[in-house]
Amino acid sequence: MTTAAPPAWSELVEDLAERGVLAQPWRAAFLAVPREVFIPEVIWRYVGDDLVPLRRGEEPAEWLARAYGPHYVVTQVDDGIPAGPQGQGQVPTSSASRPDIVAMMLAAGRLEPGMRVLEIGTGTGYTAALLAHYLGARNVTSIEVDQKLAAQARTALERAGYGEVTVVTGDGARGCPEAAPFDRVLSTVASPRVPYTWVAQTRPGGLVVTPWNSAYKPAGLLSLTVGTEGSATGGLVDTTISFMPLRDQRIPRPAVADVVREADIPERSDTDLHACDLCNDDAPFAIALSVPGCHWIYEPASGDDGRWCVWFLDPTTRSWARFDYQPDTQRWPVHQFGPRRLFDEVTTAYHRWCHAGQPPATQWRFTITPDGQRAEF
Ligand SMILES: C[S@@+](CC[C@H](N)C(=O)[O-])C[C@H]1O[C@@H](n2cnc3c(N)ncnc32)[C@H](O)[C@@H]1O
């Protein structure tokens, strides 16, 4: 069953266009592609921390409002096998992205009709349909790791009239060498390291646009221009958006108890650097890029003595540090344990960034070569 898009959708599209979020060439695509064809009959909504199914057959109005709403729609949980009690989901593993974020990604792609595009993370197939509407379906290849989702996307694309889009089932980190080169690689899955294959499969002068994420929390959208020497350079064009990660590059957020043991004997020191300076504004970007694999968790005060702490955790090496805030002092105790001295690493990165004049995250230059990824200011 397909119904006409509710008026709320045209209003949303016009609003995005007026706010300058939806570049003009994409307005027509947003109005033409029927989003509900791509949204599965069962979607997921949060009730507290749990994801519970919402069935179109049972709540058609609510389903439709979400299909054409301004938020992202969770379309798969726990890689397709709900892991919570009573069929509830725990982690969203596929979604139809927020319309304004899709618009932002498309604008960042600086696409023109006729360009050949590889999309990483087909999901519902909705973004692939928008691309097909504007570029021509034959110019769009999309790759999805989940076989069932790829099959559903193929069906939806067919139903919406974009059956000539090529949907490949496979690991997007490998790209799609058999269809390369592309003018653009657009990823709708985040990664802390941009796979070099995406650079290698893009023509010189082409763009790789991908969400970037990190253990130390910051996320954003990277736009990289591919050069003639086989490398790509660029930077963050947005520092707010956050996408789900590539399946094999997930960064599970550890709990303190996963890393810290009662028997650990930490080293004690003092600092005059307030932990808030390490966790706010653009400092976390500088730290995330220099201190890979380090998570931080704020633990609020349990009593009314004004004390709280921040944990720094690396589950891979089982290293941890704890900053203990107490009021009425300008020096605070730090405890560190494990092969890495995480607090030292974090403060070194912070001071280096301060020394450079605290450049905003959008000023960092990323370079991707066959040898790996570099980021510098
Ligand atoms: C945010 S959703 C994509 C939204 C999609 N572009 C749309 O329009 O609906 C991310 C998708 O990436 C897929 N994915 C995760 N890891 C992947 C990988 N290594 N290769 C290809 N797809 C992957 C997930 O299964 C999920 O469907």
Cβ of residue 157 lying under 6 Å from some atom of ligand 1: no
Domain check: are 268 and 236 in the same one? no
Domain check: are 263 and 213 in the same one? no
d(C-alpha 43, C-alpha 51), whole Å: 9
The last residue of one of the domains, among 208, 227, 248, is 248
Residue 241 lies in a domain: yes
Residue 368 lies in a domain: no
Domain check: are 156 and 30 in the same one? yes
Per-residue pLDDT of the chain in tens (377 residues, 90 and over written 9): 566 788 899 999 999 999 999 988 899 999 999 999 999 999 999 999 899 999 999 999 999 999 999 999 999 999 999 999 999 999 999 999 999 999 999 999 999 999 999 999 999 999 999 999 999 999 999 999 999 999 999 999 999 999 999 999 999 999 999 999 999 999 999 999 999 999 999 999 999 999 999 999 889 999 999 999 999 999 999 999 889 999 988 888 899 999 999 999 999 999 999 999 999 889 999 999 999 999 999 999 888 889 999 999 999 999 999 999 999 999 999 999 999 999 999 999 999 999 999 999 999 999 999 999 999 98
Residue 116 lies in a domain: yes
Cβ of residue 223 lying under 6 Å from some atom of ligand 1: no
Which pLDDT value is given to residue 54?
Answer: 98
- Secondary structure E strands in the chain: 42-47, 50-55, 73-77, 92-96, 117-120, 140-144, 166-169, 182-187, 202-213, 219-226, 232-238, 267-271, 295-299, 308-314, 319-325, 332-337, 365-369, 372-376
d(C-alpha 287, C-alpha 203), whole Å: 32
Pocket test for ligand 1, best of 72, 78, 146 (most atoms within 8 A of CB): 146
Distance 31 CA to ligand 1 centre (A): 23
pTM of the predicted model, to two decimals? 0.94
Distance 123 CA to ligand 1 centre (A): 5
The last residue of one of the domains, among 248, 276, 294, is 248
Domain count, the chain: 2
Cβ of residue 126 lying under 6 Å from some atom of ligand 1: yes
The last residue of one of the domains, among 183, 216, 248, is 248
Distance 92 CA to ligand 1 centre (A): 11
Is the CB of residue 184 less than 8 Å from the CB of residue 206? yes
Which pLDDT value is given to residue 275?
Answer: 95
Distance 122 CA to ligand 1 centre (A): 5
Domain check: are 40 and 128 in the same one? yes
Which pLDDT value is given to residue 332?
Answer: 97
Helix (DSSP H) and strand (DSSP E) numbers for the chain = 11, 18
Cβ of residue 320 lying under 6 Å from some atom of ligand 1: no
Residue 372 lies in a domain: no
CATH of the domain at 264: 3.30.160.690
Residue 369 lies in a domain: no
Residue 158 lies in a domain: yes
Residue 1 lies in a domain: no
Which pLDDT value is given to residue 2?
Answer: 63
Cβ of residue 51 lying under 6 Å from some atom of ligand 1: no
Cβ of residue 244 lying under 6 Å from some atom of ligand 1: yes
Domain check: are 304 and 193 in the same one? no
Domain check: are 45 and 104 in the same one? yes
Domain check: are 236 and 328 in the same one? no
Question: Domain limits at 63?
Answer: 7-248
Distance 367 CA to ligand 1 centre (A): 24
Domain check: are 267 and 244 in the same one? no
Which pLDDT value is given to residue 218?
Answer: 85
Domain check: are 140 and 286 in the same one? no
Domain check: are 44 and 62 in the same one? yes
Which pLDDT value is given to residue 15?
Answer: 96
Which pLDDT value is given to residue 1?
Answer: 56
d(C-alpha 349, C-alpha 79), whole Å: 36
Residue 346 lies in a domain: yes
Is the CB of residue 66 less than 8 Å from the CB of residue 43? yes
Q: Annotated catalytic, 231?
A: no
Closest residue by Cα to residue 169 from 184, 190, 147: 147
Pocket test for ligand 1, best of 94, 124, 157 (most atoms within 8 A of CB): 94
Instruction: Give the tens place of pLDDT for each residue, 216-228.
Output: 988 999 999 999 9
> Which residues lie below 8 Å from residue 317, measured CB to CB, with a gap of 6+?
293, 338, 339, 340
Bond prior to 181 in cis (omega within 30° of 0): yes
Which pLDDT value is given to residue 377?
Answer: 84
CATH of the domain at 68: 3.40.50.150
Which pLDDT value is given to residue 248?
Answer: 86
Pocket test for ligand 1, best of 74, 133, 247 (most atoms within 8 A of CB): 247
Domain check: are 221 and 286 in the same one? no
Active-site pick, 95, 97, 187, 214? 97
Domain check: are 170 and 78 in the same one? yes
How do strand 365-369 and strand 332-337 relate by DSSP bridges?
unpaired
